[in-house]
Structures are given as C-alpha cells and as structure tokens.
Amino acid sequence: MTSSNTGSTATPVRKTSKARRAFLIGGGLVGGALAVGFTLASKRITNAQGFKPPVQSGEVAFNAWLKLTPENTLLVQVPRQEMGQGIYTTLAMLVAEELDADWSKVRVEQAAINPVYANVTALGDSAPAAMQDAMITTARLIGVQMTGGSTSTRDAWEPMRAAAASARTLLLAAAGVKWNVKPADLRIENGVIRHAVSGQQGTLGEFAQAAAALPLPAVARLKPRSEWRLLGTSPARLDVPEKAMGRAQFGIDVRPDGLLYAAIKHLPVAGGELQELRWKRGTPPKAVLHQVRGPNWLAVIAASYWSAQQALADVELVGGGPGASVMSSEQLAARYRDVLDGKDGGPELGKPIRRTFGEHGNAPKAIAAAPAKQRFDADYSVPFLAHATMEPLNCTARIAGDGKERKVDVWAGNQAPTIVQWLAAGVADAAVDNVTVHTPYLGGGFGRRFDLEVIRQALECAKVTGGKPVQLIWSREDDIRHDAYRPAVAARMTAVLDDAGQVAAWQQQMVGPSVSKSVIGRMNPMFAGDYPPDLTNAEGAMHLPYTFANFRCDHAQVNLPVATGYWRSVGNSYNAFFVESFVDELAVALKKDPYLFRLELLKAQPRFVKVLDAAASAAQWTSALPKGWGRGIALAESFKSIVCQVVDVEVVGKDIKVRRVVSAVDCGTALHPDNVKAQIASAAIFGLTAALKGKITLSEGVVQQSNFNDYPLLKMAECPTFETVIVNSDAPLGGIGEVGTPPVAPALGNAIFAATGKRLRGLPFVLA
Amino acid sequence: MPVQFTLNQKPVALDAPPEKPLLWALREDTPLTGTKFGCGIAACGACTVLVDGQPVRSCVTKVGDVAGKQVTTIEGIGEKGPSAVQRAWIEQQVPQCGYCQSGFIMATTALLEKTPNPTDADIDAAITNLCRCGTYPAMRAAIKRAAELKKAGA
C-alpha cells in the first residue's frame, strides 16, 4: 500500500517497466498531462473484448472494475482474494476515492476470471531486472489472477484508480448534459454530484445509465494526493461485520444441493507410492459411498464428513517404492553442511546447482587474504515450517454433464483462481469457459492456497459422484504432515573486519531448494525446470542496504524429498534472520552499539536511516531494562517496503518471553494506516511463532508433527505488546501483508543475545 | 432416535448418531456453519460453542452428550443484532481472515458472563484459542471494550 510517485529513492528501485510506461504516458499522447495526474484510460481498465462484469437488474457496469446501482451503491470488482490482509477494503478505497463515492454504500464483489484482471506485478517481481518487461508483457497475455507476493495494491494502483477516474469523467459529463452545465463546474461529494451555482444535485447512481453509454475517455484525471479524502484514512473494513457475526462464508461453508463429503489420508512417507490398502475388517465401512485412489492418497466419500473420517481410521495405507524418502532431519542438516563445504548433496539432494545471486568487488579473495583474527564465520539454519492456516484445506467440486456441455464448479479458498480454472478444465475434461471458480473468503492463506493438490483431489472425487457436488476436507493432521513447507535452509556467513573496523568483505552462502520449482512443478510438471534462477532463494540477501567493500551472495540449489511452498515473506523469512543476526555479531565483535553500527553501514540510504531511527526512537533504544531483559534490533526490506523492529525480551531460565515489539515501516504511503499496523503486528506474530515454536522435522521420510499439540502457535498469553510507527515517504508503493515477518526473528535473537550473551543461530530459539 | 436439545433458544431434533461430534452435527445437520473446524483435538478453539453457558470445544463433544441442554453458537448470540462482544469486535476491527473469530467470540462471551471485569491475567487464562493471523492485540482491546459495553447495559 502506498503512493505512485516515482522519483529517486535510496533503495534499489527497478526502473518503470516499458509496459507500465506505455500505460502511463500513452506513447507521448498525454506525456505532458501526466505531470498533473492524468492517466490513459488503459487496456487494464477494459480489454479488447470489452469485458464487463455480469450485471443484475439495474446495475450498470462501467468497465471491468466497477458497477453502480440506481440506489447509488458502488460495486467494486476485486480480482484478488481476501485472506485477512484487508485487500477488499483497500482496493475498494482506490475506486471510491477517485469517484468520491459514499463509503457507506461501497460493496465488493469477487471478480470473475478474465485476463483483464491479471496480476502483472506478481510475475514481474519474479523475474530478474533485465527480464521484467518481458515478464509483464507475458503476464498480461497469460492473464493470471493471483494473490501473493504482497503485490495486490501495487498492481491495482493504476488500473483501479484509472477505472474509477474514467467513470467519474463520464458521470460528470452525463450530469453536465442533463443540467446543461459544464462538467468542470460540477463537484462530487460523498456520492452526490452538485452544481453549486444552480443548486442542482443528483447521486452518482442516478447518472450511471447515461454515463456508461458514453464512450470511454482517452484520458482521465487522477486525483493528486492533496485531494484525497479516503486514502490515508482508516475506514472500517468491509469484511469485518460478517466475520464478527459468524456469517462470513469460507470454502468449507459452501453447501450446494446434494452435497457429499470426502475425507482423505495420505501415505505418510514423502515421495512414496500407495501400493496397498489394508481395511481393518477387510472391506470399507458401509458409510463409504465411493473410494478414490491417488498416487499417494486415498479419499473416501460419504454423506457426512465425520463418517468419511471415521472410515479412514479403519484403513492402513501401505506403500513406498523407489521414490520414498529415507531422509531424517539430522541427515538433511549433515548433507546441507556437505554442500556448504563444496561437496555433493548425496543421493536424495543430488548435485547442487550453484549460483551467485549478488556480487560486487571480490569477497572470496578478500576473505582468503584476510588474517584469521579478522575473519568471522557463522553457520545458521532454519527448519521446515508448515503454514497451518486456521481453515484446513478444502475444496468443493461438481462435475455435471458430458462432452461440450460438461460444466464444472469449484468452490475453494485459493490464491490463483485462473490456474484453478485451467487445472479443473484439464482434470474434468471440460472447456475452460465451462469451469466456474467460486472464491469465498480464505481462512488464512500465507502462500498455502497456491497449492492446488486439494483442488485436484476434490475434482477426482467429483468425477465419481454422478454429478453430485463433493466437499473434500483435509484433516489438520494431513495439513501439517503434507504441507508444501517453508524449506529448511542453511547459511554460512563470512565477513572480514579490517583494522579500521570496517566490513571489508561480506559473504553469504546458502543451501536449500527452489520453492518456485516445487510450486510450479506441482501445478504443471512440464514447467518444473531449473531455469530461470529462483529469485525467492536469495531475496533479502542479494541486495543489502549496507555498504560493504566486497560482497557476495551464493546459493546452492538442491532437491528435497518434501514439497516446498511460498510461506509468508518466502525467502525473506530466513534471509533476514541470517543477515540481521550476523550484522549483530559483527557489531558485537567491533564492540559497537547494534543500532549505531547499522546507521554507520547505511551510507546514502536515507529511507533506511529514517526507518531505523523511527523504530529506535519509538522504542527508546537506550532506555534501561530490568535485569534479565534484553533489547534487539533488525532491519529488512521486502516487497519494496522497509521495516525495522525492536524487540524487548525477558529471559527467565530457559524461558523466552517476548514483551514488546516496536516497528517502523516505510511502505511509501500508508493507504489505510490502521490496516498497515494490523498487518505489521500480524506478520510479526507469525514470525514470532516461527522463532519460538515452529519446527517440522523428518524421520525416515515421515513428518513427525501432526497437529497444534506438536506444531504449536503463539497464544494470547504469549503475545507481546505492539507499537508501530508509519514512516511515509515519496517512494513507490510497497507491500504490507508480509513485510512484518522478516525482521522479527533476528530482532528477537539479538535481544536474547543482549539478555544472555548467548548467540542462537538456529530457529526455533532454544536456550540450553 | 434423534438427539433433542435447544439450539440458539429453539428446540431441535437432529438425526445424528449420538457419538457424532457436536461440531459436525451443527455443520452438517443444521444450516449453521459459523462454528468452525480447526483441529479436531480441542487444541485451537475454532469450534467453541456454549453448552448451558459453559464454553466447550464442540469437536470433542458428542452430540449425544448435549441432549436436553442449551447450545448456543455464534449465530445465536447475534440473532437480535450484534451482542456487546460482537460490537466490540467490530469497533476494534479485530478479524483478519476471520476463520477463528467465532470461537474467540464465544469464549469471550463465556468469560464475561463469569468475569465481568477481566484483568489481562484473566484474559490470558481464559482465552486459549489460536489465531494464525495474530489478531491478539486487537482482541485483547476488544475484550476489555466488550466488558464496558456490557456493563453499560448496551
């Protein structure tokens, strides 16, 4: 969430893409006008087919993004998924702002699937700088709607405001015609168009029909920030009342007529093949209407989910085969050390693909030349983590009819409806246009709902029910044991501190899998290649704001026996831990204050300095703490936003009690400040759960955790207090849903060091 | 034989085996889906409902065991408009993804019946549900606000 102004900033900002430039300035057509906030009514407002959302009686669709009713209700089409991050509200605000709509009459509708709604920013972000333009062009062609990478507001910023601004132009024109006045003499306030001189007035809704019949204007004026009334304020979230009343519908709540339920059990061992079913009584219980068998799973369908689950308790899945993993977490850690030592990864991990993601100067040479006393090394590691969304994975599917007439309905909380549609068409052998994807609220996403396995399985179930819908729900045990995990990663950090106390060299070497390869490979094995390099491996490590004379960031990519996935803040979730803990170690080695040391390293980085200062100041960095307490600081840029966190911890024996988290965030401009603060605390709590408790371990290829009893989450009683300071800047929009996660683990680890003198280099933190 | 009990102040007779968890009886045998499945082992509290005013985790409560009792779900407390707890929740903008919130609201409803002025320690002891979005800070404020609203008779 933030502002559009470009302009030079201290952060390494990617240049505006060609496609985006064309959109902004229209090939010179309105180049001059751009400066005063005009925008081309672009192809992202509509598309070649002139797609408009379906309308119910009386509703008027202006373009792909908004409808008005005669009663003056504004129906904003949101093609991103609401999973708690507040995106329904923020994107509706973009539209309401440009229209000066009555916020109390703004409603959101989950948009249909159409290429006009593609999230081009998400794909652009995934490409190396030199390939971004091509990737954005490709993204527009492929037209994938997805919610992730903290891109939703950044991506919607231009098209949704432009869509509303062009509708505004048309509405004013229509009013001008009716009242025979100049549109320039009209103003809109709270959804009402007024002509001051004549005293005429009417609602936006009254003019909707006439306005929508007018041709789309070539350009539309976007409000300058000085005219904002809504953006930058914190209106009540649109989704809150129904969530507080228990009326919000999640995927697990859909109840189409004739619904059957399916429960599922997976073969415990990773990579194994299901070979045999052993029913306790020889045959399945009577409640089982159908069995559906997959490569490593069995689903049973019954009239009740509970009966289906009961039935599965009676069956043992037997399997294994050549792909079955025998890996244990201790062995994985040893193989990781081998790879960091330059060796092979062994039979399961394979030969690593070694890449350099960032480099300036010659760090290896500087390190080799440094005397031992100036050289600092430390090995860090993080474990696998499950997402553990509160709503267990589920999908409801219905396949009805045959041949060209076959219709498919999929109801599922998901983060990529376009891909769900393609998948469903393939699995159900139906035309893509005959697949309807219904996306209700997501009971948590965090990257988990990019994974389509549950959707594929539900569709397989729906094939055997004779047209009846079936709702497949994973148990919590299967969710924890068969997640696409945040990968286990190890890093070797090396630095040289010269005689002058400067960081003469910084080198980070990592080993881990490519998450993108795992995710994309499970969507479509055809695309499961090792190229292009997966930037998520090194995000948060390959471009640091600090000035180091020699710098290098290497990654060794290996294969893993378990699936890995995008997990809130992805590579940043571990890279910030490695980097910011090691920066702290260097500060300690130099006997410098960790805050002042960072300040020293932030040369020509005014944005970072402001954020660092804001957090240190709000936290009263130098204020005294009770005995046994410690204070730590960490700074991280992710998803174009900068966050600094200061953590106060109390250590009692082996008990780590996090008392306070003070954050400062620069996301450009906070469009909904209360939500920015809520997301920072949310993401920090997510990160604290990982730092204090999170661990998925393997024993001979089998995940050892199964539910919240052995994969616990932070509770109310363990939750620290939060203070968040927003540092607005003129930087381009940054993301907000994930950026509070990366710095919290290192800030806590640094605080634990301050309290105890013990440097903990692995997560979760355990005091011996 | 159907299991009979009072659900949100109305008598119901559910055609469910008595050993079926109350959670699944509610979700499958009534139209009420506000009570959520989270873990199945009473660890997360997403399925919290009130049985005779006491908070119970319905995923491990047999429907047969509530025969003749008063069961209240999230739908029941807001039938005549949002309850004090729900109003506080809306005022403090607590929910994010929202999935766990019914359970928290029911646990809070029970807490405030017993302890009208909960201290932080009371809240920590009574509210042991899990929220993956980390809405705890807003929730703590909402619980205190709900106590005020309730006292004011609102």
DSSP per residue, B107-148: HHHHHHHH-SS--HHHHHHH-----TT--HHHHHHHHHHHHH
- B138 and B88 in a common domain: yes
Q: What angle do helix axes A572-589 and A594-601 make, rounded to 10 degrees?
A: 110
How is residue A515 written in tokens?
A: 């998450």
The C-alpha angle with vertex A77 and arms to A72 and A81, in degrees rounded to 5, equals 135
Same domain, B116 and B91: yes
Per-residue pLDDT at A31 exceeds 50: no
Other CB atoms within 10 A of residue A56 CB: 8
Q: What's residue A458's pLDDT?
A: 98
CA nearest neighbour of A128 among A445, A717, A420, A538: A538
Residue in A589, A605, A597, A596 with CA at minimum distance from that of residue A544: A605
Quote the distance between the C-alpha of residue A18 and its chain's center: 25
ipTM: 0.98
Q: Do B89 and B126 belong to one domain?
A: yes
What letter represents residue B111's amino acid? L
Q: What is the mean pLDDT of chain A?
A: 92
Q: Please tell me the distance from the alpha carbon of residue A448 to that of residue A48, in angstroms, as a whole number.
A: 34
Find out if CATH 3.30.365.10 is the number for domain A18-244: yes
| Closest to B85 (Cα-Cα) out of B31, B149, B23, B2 | B149
- The nearest alpha carbon in chain B to A709 belongs to B43
**Contacts with B46 from chain A: Cβ below 8 Å:** 390
Give the model's pLDDT for residue A48. Answer: 66
CA distance B32 to B58: 13
Q: Is A443 within 8 Å of chain B by CB?
A: yes
**CA A453, CA A264: separation in Å to the nearest integer?**
12
The residues, ordered by sequence, that sit 6+ positions from B21 with a Cβ below 8 Å of its Cβ are A306, B58, B59, B60, B61, B62, B63
Q: What is the DSSP string of A316-371?
A: EEEEE-TT-----HHHHHHHHHHHHTT---HHHH-S-EEEEEEEES-HHHHHHHS-
Question: HSE on the CB side for A247, CA within 13 Å?
Answer: 12
Q: Containing H/E element for B3?
A: strand B3-7
Look at B137 and A390 and tell me if their CB atoms are within 8 Å.
no
Nearest Cα residue to A258 out of A409, A131, A366, A362:
A409
Helices (H), chain B: 22-29, 74-77, 84-91, 101-114, 120-126, 136-151
Structural tokens at position A79: 């093609």
Q: Confidence class of residue A40 from pLDDT cuts 50, 70 and 90? A: low
Count Cβ atoms within 10 A of the Cβ of residue B152 and give its class: 0-12 exposed, 13-18 middle, 19 or more buried.
Answer: exposed
Do B93 and B58 share a structural domain? no
Q: What is the mean pLDDT of residues A581-599?
A: 98
Q: Which CATH number is A251-323+393-473's, of 3.30.70.3270, 3.30.1330.40, 3.40.47.10, 3.30.365.10?
A: 3.30.365.10
Residue of B nearest to A706 (CA): B39
Same domain, B88 and B71: no
Q: Which residue has the tokens 């026996």?
A: A561
Per-10-residue mean pLDDT, chain B, length 154: 96 97 98 98 98 98 98 96 98 98 98 98 98 98 98 80
Among the listed residues A96, A92, A62, A60, the one whose alpha carbon sits nearest the alpha carbon of residue A206: A60
CATH classification of the domain holding B47: 3.10.20.30
The alpha helices in A406-539, defined as continuous H runs, are 417-428, 453-462, 476-481, 515-523
CATH of domain A352-386+485-756: 3.30.365.10
Q: Are residues B64 and B101 in the same domain?
A: no
Q: What does the alpha-carbon distance between residue A493 and residue A502 come to, in Å, rounded to a whole number? A: 16
pLDDT of residue A577: 99
When scoring B14, B44, B97 by the number of chain A Cβ atoms within 10 A, the one with the most, hence best to mutate, is: B97
pLDDT of res. A113: 95
pLDDT exceeds cutoff 70 at A193: yes
- What is the pLDDT, as a whole number, of residue A7? 32
How does residue A38 score in pLDDT terms, banded at 50, 70 and 90? Answer: low
Residue A441 to residue B97, Cβ atoms within 8 A: yes
What is the H or E stretch that residue A494 is in?
strand A489-497
Look at residues B77, B94, B116 and tell me which one is the last residue of a structural domain: B77
- Quote the distance between the C-alpha of residue A51 and its chain's center: 27
Q: Residue A528's pLDDT band (boundaries 50, 70, 90)?
A: confident
Whether the predicted pLDDT of A112 surpasses 80: yes
DSSP letter assigned to residue A259: -
Residue A740 near residue A687 (C-beta atoms within 8 A): yes
pLDDT in tens, A299-355: 999 999 999 999 999 999 999 999 999 999 999 999 999 999 999 999 889 999 999
Mean pLDDT of A269-287: 96
Q: How far is A98 from chain B (nearest CA, A)?
A: 25
Of chain A residues 241-300, which have a CB less than 8 A from chain B?
241, 243-250, 252-253, 255, 261
Q: What percent of chain A has pLDDT over 90?
A: 86
- Would you call B13 an interface residue with chain A, using a CB distance cutoff of 8 Å? no
By the 10 Å C-beta count (0-12 exposed, 13-18 middle, 19+ buried), A531 is classed as exposed
| The two structure tokens encoding residue B121 | 């320690």
Residue type, B43: A
Q: What are phi and psi of A238, to 5 degrees?
A: -70, -25
Q: Which residues of B touch A391 (CB under 8 A)?
A: 36, 38, 97, 99
Q: Is the pLDDT of residue A27 over 70?
A: no
Cα angle A738, A740, A743 (rounded to 5 degrees) comes to 120
What does the alpha-carbon distance between residue A492 and residue A342 come to, in Å, rounded to a whole number? 12
For the cut 50, the answer to whether the pLDDT of residue A611 exceeds it is yes
User: Which CATH number belongs to the domain containing residue B147 in this structure?
Assistant: 1.10.150.120
Do A84 and B43 lie within an 8 Å CB cutoff?
A: no
Give one DSSP letter per residue of A76-139, joined into a string: EEE-S--SSS-HHHHHHHHHHHHHT--GGGEEEEE----GGG--HHHHHHTS-GGGHHHHHHHH
- Among the residue ranges A214-218, A474-478, A629-633, the one predicted with the least confidence is A214-218
Tokens representing residue A121 in the block? 């920013």
- The answer to whether the Cβ–Cβ distance between A243 and B125 falls below 8 Å is no
- Reported as a single tens digit per residue, the pLDDT across A393-443 is 999 999 999 999 999 999 999 999 999 999 999 999 999 999 999 999 999
Instruction: Please name the member of A306, A674, A709 whose beta carbon is closest to the beta carbon of B93.
Output: A674
Q: What is the mean pLDDT of residues A373-379?
A: 97
pLDDT per residue as tens digits for the range A207-238? 999 999 998 887 888 999 999 999 999 999 99
Q: How far is A387 from chain B (nearest CA, A)?
A: 9
- Domain co-membership, B96 together with B135: yes
Q: Is B64 on the interface with A (CB under 8 A)?
A: no
Dihedral (Cα; A276, A281, A284, A287), 10-degree rounding: -160
Considering the domain architecture, whether residues B69 and B132 belong to the same structural domain is answered as no
Its domain, for residue B118, covers 84-151
Residue A25 has pLDDT above 60, yes or no: no
| pLDDT confidence of residue A140 | 79
Indicate the residue among B77, B110, B133 that finishes a domain: B77
The token pair that represents A555 in the structure block: 């990654």
Q: Record the tokens describing residue A498, joined without a space.
A: 């010269």
pLDDT-derived band of residue A731, with 50, 70 and 90 as boundaries? very high
Q: What are the start-end ranges of the E strands in A173-305?
A: 186-189, 192-195, 200-203, 219-221, 260-266, 273-279, 290-293, 297-302
Tell me how far the alpha carbon of residue A443 is from its chain's centroid: 14
Q: Which of A207, A209, A47, A157 is CA-nearest to residue A112?
A: A47
Structural contact between residues A294 and A310, judged by C-beta atoms closer than 8 angstroms: no
Closest B-chain CA to A717:
B124
Residue A34: pLDDT band with limits 50, 70, 90:
very low
Number of domains in chain B: 2
Supply the pLDDT for residue A2: 38
Query: What phi and psi values does residue A624 have, to the nearest 5 degrees?
Result: -70, 150
Compute φ and ψ for A581, nearest 5 degrees: -70, -40
Contacts of A718 (CB under 8 A, 6+ apart): A657, A658, A692
Amino acid A43: pLDDT: 61
Report how far Cα A462 is from the mean position of its chain's Cα atoms.
Answer: 30
Both tokens of A685, joined, read: 């709590």
The beta-carbon neighbor of A678 closest among B24, B131, B138 is B138
Q: State the pairing for strand pair A641-652/A629-638.
A: antiparallel
Residue in the structure block whose two tokens are 């003019």: A207
Q: How far apart are the CA of B68 and the nearest CA of chain A, in angstroms?
A: 23
Judged by CB atoms closer than 8 Å, whether chains meet at B99 and A685 is answered as no
How many degrees, rounded to 5, is the angle at CA A751 between CA A749 and CA A756? 95
Return residues 77-136 of A near B (CB < 8 Å). 83-86
Two structure tokens written together for B85:
């707890």
In angstroms, the CA A571 to CA A564 distance is 12
Please state the rounded mean pLDDT for residues A520-534. Answer: 82
Exposed e or buried b per residue across A174-184, where buried means at least 16 C-beta atoms within 10 angstroms of its C-beta: bbbeebebebe
Task: Indicate yes or no: CB of A306 within 8 angstroms of CB of B20.
Answer: yes
State the average pLDDT over residues A728-734.
Answer: 94
Q: Are residues B11 and B31 in the same domain?
A: yes
Cα–Cα distance for residue pair A623/A648, rounded to 1 Å: 11
Show which of B61, B77, B93 is a domain's final residue.
Answer: B77
- Tell me which chain B residues have a C-beta less than 8 angstroms from the C-beta of A253: 33
Spell out which residues of chain B touch residue A86, defining contact as CB-CB under 8 Å. Answer: 96
Q: What is the pTM of this model?
A: 0.94
Please, where in chain A does CATH 3.30.365.10 lie? 18-244, 251-323+393-473, 352-386+485-756
User: Do B72 and B7 share a structural domain?
Assistant: yes
